[in-house]
Chains A and B, each alone.
With several copies, the nearest count.
Chain A
């Protein structure tokens, strides 16, 4: 993919990119950490489903419901293979990363954690991997300990080691920071957690679109991610869990599909994965996500990521040469996400002036307020690259930021 032609080829699959925004500027989409764009095949998969196969799944015994159920369950298998899960029943459909984590906290957490038990998170977690545990803590009295960040934007392994001495019951950690791009040494973190006897949950929301994830190789207990951040639709996400853990967990939400028998005298529950899938699922969402994963599977993902990192390095290196810019990201072990500030300026002003030039970046706390407070800022401007960004995007960003510097200067 260092071949720019291939990127232009990919770009053409994302029709949204070819548009004019504010002040007649072409769109430069660098907000991929918030959500990714969808290739034609994903949009087509959704459209085709509604135009040809739409029916409720599992419940019907007719031609359409059979087609819909097949496509839906095939999508589960696609996810299974994408993350190399042992079995499709370990793939639970959720609304997104946030719901996946809430499910683990409410079901596994409530069942297995008691007052005084320790949970380790990190200072760089997204609110989605903080607040569910805080809600659980308010109910159960578990204690949350954040692993500290070092000045070089990586986790403080010494601090982690010392926190592991508290014999935490759970280590829940992000694979990649959505705000500063750090790729955590997740395999090492998991191994250490296991040695300390902790269950492990990995927030893969930002990792999954950048590199291959193998849950068996990682040997994590739970892995979660969102469809919309990996070129799939909104409203669909995944919880992967080890079978033994999922089997033991009580259901969380109740309703159709997740039951075996219901009566007012007592109700029994369905097997995995259905036990955790109450109600009509986001059928079109699951099918769209599978289409996105199949789309990615066509490519050499390592090459795609190299390309993203190349763009990231280009901007990173330029930024570090600007006296007034402060970068919050490390150049290495970064998934092509970067936060920065112009010294003395408000991130919102920078975002507004970039937007005037068609550049879409995100400004604010990026749902990582504890991290912002560690960095000593209220917010930053964040750039996040994806497979369809090209050198022209990186260059347009730099030119636009030079203009911002001039306007503010």
Chain B
């Protein structure tokens, strides 16, 4: 499986679809069930793409992040990521739904705090949490 296949697969959701999904999730259990359902849909990175150099620093779980410029003209980015933790996988979909296909400028303009707040997932973004979500967002923003 080439990494490009993975990139194609990863872009299933967009931001508003994610918002709808979470709006319908009931309570913390519903929300976490939803996160883990999403996580199951994250295409696995082939082992050869799980290199240490692609590990995101500052995550307690392992998170590998790849990206490519999707289209030379618009310079939108495509991301592929994987993790060994289920909740992180789900949250990766949440993040990529917001960032995928966007340009560096669009990524930096995007109000990720507002987005996570609307999903009621804001605490996951805290730099003082060791789950690494903050680190993933940072890594994407620093690309």
Chains A and B in contact, CB within 8 Å: yes
From A277-285, A324-332, A349-357, give the one contacting chain B: A349-357
User: Contacts A23-B28, A61-B131, A407-B29; is A352 near B87 (CB within 8 Å)?
Assistant: yes
Report A28 CB to chain B, min CB distance, Å: 16
User: Contacts A346-B85, A349-B86; is A70 near B128 (CB within 8 Å)?
Assistant: yes
A82–B88 Cα gap in the complex (Å)?
Answer: 36
CB-defined contacts of A61 to chain B, threshold 8 Å: 60, 129-131
Q: Which residues of B59-104 have CB atoms within 8 Å of chain A's CB atoms?
A: 60-62, 84-88
- One of B84, B130, B131 near A58 (C-beta < 8 A): B130
List residues of A whose CB falls within 8 A of some B CB. 22-23, 57-61, 66, 69-70, 73, 271, 345-346, 348-349, 352-353, 356, 363-364, 378-379, 403, 407-408
The 10 closest A-B pairs by CB, nearest first: A69-B128, A346-B85, A70-B128, A348-B85, A348-B61, A356-B28, A23-B28, A61-B130, A349-B87, A349-B86
Report A87 CB to chain B, min CB distance, Å: 14
22 A-B pairs within 8 Å (CB atoms) are namely A23-B27, A23-B28, A58-B128, A61-B130, A61-B131, A66-B129, A69-B129, A70-B126, A70-B128, A73-B128, A271-B57, A346-B61, A346-B84, A348-B85, A348-B87, A352-B131, A353-B87, A363-B60, A364-B60, A403-B29, A407-B32, A408-B86
CB closest residue in chain A, given B132 = A348
A316–B60 Cα gap in the complex (Å)?
Answer: 26
CB closest residue in chain B, given A344 = B86
CB-defined contacts of A22 to chain B, threshold 8 Å: 28
B36 interface hit (Cβ, 8 Å): yes
CB-defined contacts of B127 to chain A, threshold 8 Å: 73
CB-defined contacts of A356 to chain B, threshold 8 Å: 28, 32
B19 interface hit (Cβ, 8 Å): no
B141 interface hit (Cβ, 8 Å): no
Name, among A23, A352, A408, the residue most crowded by chain B CB atoms within 10 Å (CB to CB): A352
- One of B36, B57, B61, B130 near A408 (C-beta < 8 A): B36
B123 interface hit (Cβ, 8 Å): yes
CB-defined contacts of B36 to chain A, threshold 8 Å: 407-408
Contact between A379 and B60 (Cβ–Cβ < 8 Å)?
A: yes
Q: Which residues of B8-52 have CB atoms within 8 Å of chain A's CB atoms?
A: 27-29, 32-33, 36
User: Contacts A61-B60, A348-B61, A364-B60; is A66 near B86 (CB within 8 Å)?
Assistant: no
CB closest residue in chain B, given A58 = B130
User: Contacts A346-B84, A364-B60; is A353 near B32 (CB within 8 Å)?
Assistant: yes
Contact between A346 and B131 (Cβ–Cβ < 8 Å)?
A: no
Q: For chain B, which range describes its interface: under 10, 10 to 19, 20 to 34, or 35 or more residues?
A: 20 to 34
CB closest residue in chain B, given A353 = B32
CB-defined contacts of A73 to chain B, threshold 8 Å: 127-128
A407–B31 Cα gap in the complex (Å)?
Answer: 11
Contact between A348 and B126 (Cβ–Cβ < 8 Å)?
A: no
A69–B36 Cα gap in the complex (Å)?
Answer: 27
CB-defined contacts of A378 to chain B, threshold 8 Å: 62, 84
User: Contacts A61-B131, A356-B28; is A66 near B126 (CB within 8 Å)?
Assistant: yes
Contact between A349 and B85 (Cβ–Cβ < 8 Å)?
A: yes
Report B60 CB to chain A, min CB distance, Å: 5
Contact between A407 and B130 (Cβ–Cβ < 8 Å)?
A: no
Report A373 CB to chain B, min CB distance, Å: 15
A23–B31 Cα gap in the complex (Å)?
Answer: 12
CB-defined contacts of A58 to chain B, threshold 8 Å: 128, 130
> With A58-B130, A73-B127, A348-B130 given, can you name 10 additional A-B contacts, CB distance below 8 Å?
A23-B28, A61-B131, A66-B126, A66-B128, A271-B57, A346-B85, A349-B87, A364-B60, A378-B62, A407-B32
Question: Beta-carbon contacts of B93-134 to A below 8 Å, as 1s and 0s?
Answer: 000000000000000000000000000000100111111000
CB closest residue in chain A, given B124 = A352
Report B80 CB to chain A, min CB distance, Å: 20
CB-defined contacts of A364 to chain B, threshold 8 Å: 60, 130
Contact between A66 and B123 (Cβ–Cβ < 8 Å)?
A: yes
Report B2 CB to chain A, min CB distance, Å: 27
CB-defined contacts of A57 to chain B, threshold 8 Å: 128
A403–B88 Cα gap in the complex (Å)?
Answer: 19
